[in-house]
Structure formats: structure tokens, C-alpha cells
């Protein structure tokens, strides 16, 4: 199975299956699950209507739901929704950029530094020793940054228990390269 945000040529071999955003009921379940998994206290007490407001603002896109629920770590539900509402009305890419920007602004310096280092790694996996070296963080700063980025669904922890490897989602990498670092994709 291959996944892509860009549709392949119609003549390409294989079977194409387009996935749309989650249905409302599934989006709500994901929001509650994500908030519980990330230890966001009080999220379970949010009404279904409150959670619906979140999922409508991000359009039922799973990664956006994960990121949006993470805003509750820093902001009240109303403040989180207000921040998300400010980015409403654009394309899906603009929505993701806005959600990422909101989460980025909540991160402390060490977490931002580690995330920028992850832009060099991208979806590939890197071990903690390598990330410590390229980020120039202390061991303690690194551990706190990893926990913070995990809590905000910005870091993917992979590998086995004895040797953790870290990576980021392709959309996270794109946000970092284009919106934070200022990289411009080459014209084709």
C-alpha cells in the first residue's frame, strides 16, 4: 500500500482509493481518545457540542484533530476554538498551516529547537543520540522536548523499547520547512 496526498496518473498500475475526512461521529471519538491518551485533564467533560465545534473547525482530518486537541494543554476550550476559528475558510493546506502555527506558538524553546532539528530528519527515523547532537540540547532539555512534542502529536516515536527512534509526519515537515524555516520548493 502506498499513500500520497497527490493523485497518481490514471494509467498508473494498482488500485486507487481516495480517503475523505472522518465522519463526524468518528472524528468526535478520535478527539476524545486523543485528549485522553495525551492526558489532557477536563477534556472528557467537554460536551459533544463542544467537541463537534472542534472537529468542524478542522474538517474531520485525523492529524488536524490530534493537533487541535493538543491546544487544550495550553488554552481553554473557548480560547482554543477561537484560535482555530481564525484560520477557517481557506484550503485544507491553509487550515493545517494555521493549526500548526497555533501549536508552534505554544511550544517552549527546547521543543521548537528539537522540532526544527527533526525537519532535517523528516519521516526517516533518527535516534536520540543523533538528535541530541544536531539540536545541541542538554539531555534533560531533550527529554522534556520529546515529551512535549509527543503530547502535542508532533513527534512520532518508533523503534523498540531499548532503542527509540523519532520521526515526524510529512505535513509537520512541510510546515517546518515552508512556514518556519522559509524553504521554497523548487519549481518543476
Query: Strand, coil or helix: what is 165?
Result: strand
Local structure of residue 88 (DSSP, 8 states): T
pLDDT over threshold 60, residue 39: yes
92: cell is 485544507
**Do the bridges between strand 126-127 and strand 156-160 make them parallel or antiparallel, or are there none, so unpaired?**
unpaired
Helix (H) or strand (E) holding 69: helix 62-70
- Mean pLDDT taken over the chain: 83
User: Which pLDDT does position 110 carry in this prediction?
Assistant: 95
176: cell is 517546518
The pTM of this model reads: 0.76
Distance of CA 16 to the CA centre of its chain: 25
> What sign does the CA torsion over 100, 101, 106, 111 have?
positive
CA–CA distance, 62 with 142 (Å, rounded to integer): 27
Higher-confidence residue of 20 and 26: namely 26
User: Which pLDDT does position 43 carry in this prediction?
Assistant: 84
- CB–CB of 70/151 below 8 Å? yes
User: Which pLDDT does position 107 carry in this prediction?
Assistant: 93
- CB–CB of 69/61 below 8 Å? no
Amino acid at each position: 500500500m502506498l499513500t500520497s496526498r497527490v493523485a497518481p496518473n490514471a494509467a498508473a498500475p494498482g488500485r486507487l482509493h481516495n480517503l475523505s475526512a472522518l465522519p463526524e461521529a468518528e472524528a468526535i471519538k478520535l478527539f476524545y481518545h486523543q485528549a485522553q491518551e495525551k492526558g489532557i485533564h477536563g477534556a472528557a467533560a467537554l460536551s459533544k457540542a463542544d467537541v463537534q465545534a472542534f472537529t468542524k473547525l478542522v474538517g474531520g482530518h485525523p492529524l488536524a484533530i490530534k493537533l487541535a486537541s493538543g491546544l487544550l494543554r495550553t488554552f481553554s476550550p473557548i480560547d482554543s476554538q477561537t484560535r482555530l476559528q481564525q484560520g477557517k475558510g481557506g484550503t485544507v493546506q491553509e487550515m493545517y498551516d494555521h493549526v500548526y502555527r497555533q501549536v508552534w506558538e505554544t511550544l517552549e524553546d527546547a521543543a521548537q529547537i528539537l522540532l526544527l532539528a527533526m525537519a532535517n530528519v523528516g519521516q526517516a527515523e533518527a535516534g536520540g543520540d543523533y538528535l541530541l547532537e544536531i539540536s545541541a540540547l542538554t539531555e534533560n532539555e531533550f527529554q522534556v522536548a520529546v515529551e512535549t512534542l509527543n503530547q502535542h502529536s508532533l513527534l512520532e516515536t518508533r523503534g523498540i523499547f531499548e532503542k527509540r527512534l523519532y520521526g515526524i509526519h510529512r505535513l509537520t515537515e512541510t510546515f517546518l520547512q515552508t512556514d518556519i524555516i522559509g524553504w521554497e520548493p523548487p519549481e518543476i
